[in-house]
A = this chain, B = another copy of it.
Amino acid sequence: MAAHEDLPAPAGEDAHDELLSLRQSIDNIDAALIHLLAERFKCTQQVGRLKARHGLPAADPARELLQIQRLRGLAEDARLDPAFAEKFLNFIIAEVIHHHVQIAGQDSSAGGSAASTPAP
């Protein structure tokens, strides 16, 4: 299902067509974003299970700092606001940590080694 039915009618048919075309592009990009995010969470779920197995903490501030610096640089190159890129990464990381804590909880309630030997 496309998400551009029932457009508000702007002044003029050209403007309406332009809005429709832009919204189709946005919808295509959103579909790509959703699929990439699904793939990213598959990776972070694997990281979560790995961390739980080895008793590593869910959060890793040193790694996060490097990710933020890198994404800010990529955002600048792509002419995206670096502050937004950082906010975006924090938004994703908050969800990832939430997953990792869940995984660690499942692991320890199943008799796993979660949190037995946390890394620095």
**Chain A residues in the interface with B (C-beta under 8 A):** 1-12, 15, 18-19, 22-23, 25-27, 29-41, 43-44, 46-47, 50-51, 53-56, 60, 62-63, 66-67, 69-71, 73-75, 78-80, 84-85, 88-89, 91, 95, 117, 119-120
Contact = CB atoms under 8 A, between A and B. Distances in A.
Contacts of A46: 18, 22
A10 B56 contact: yes
A11 to B, nearest CB: 5
18 contacts: A6-B62, A6-B63, A8-B120, A10-B51, A11-B117, A19-B50, A22-B43, A22-B44, A22-B50, A23-B63, A26-B47, A30-B70, A30-B71, A32-B36, A33-B40, A37-B84, A38-B78, A41-B80
Contact of A67 (B30, B54, B73): B30
A78 B3 CA distance: 18
- Of all A-B residue pairs in the complex, the 10 with the closest CB atoms, nearest first, are A38-B78, A8-B119, A3-B66, A38-B80, A10-B54, A3-B67, A3-B70, A29-B40, A34-B74, A11-B54
Nearest to A40: B29
A3 B62 CA distance: 9
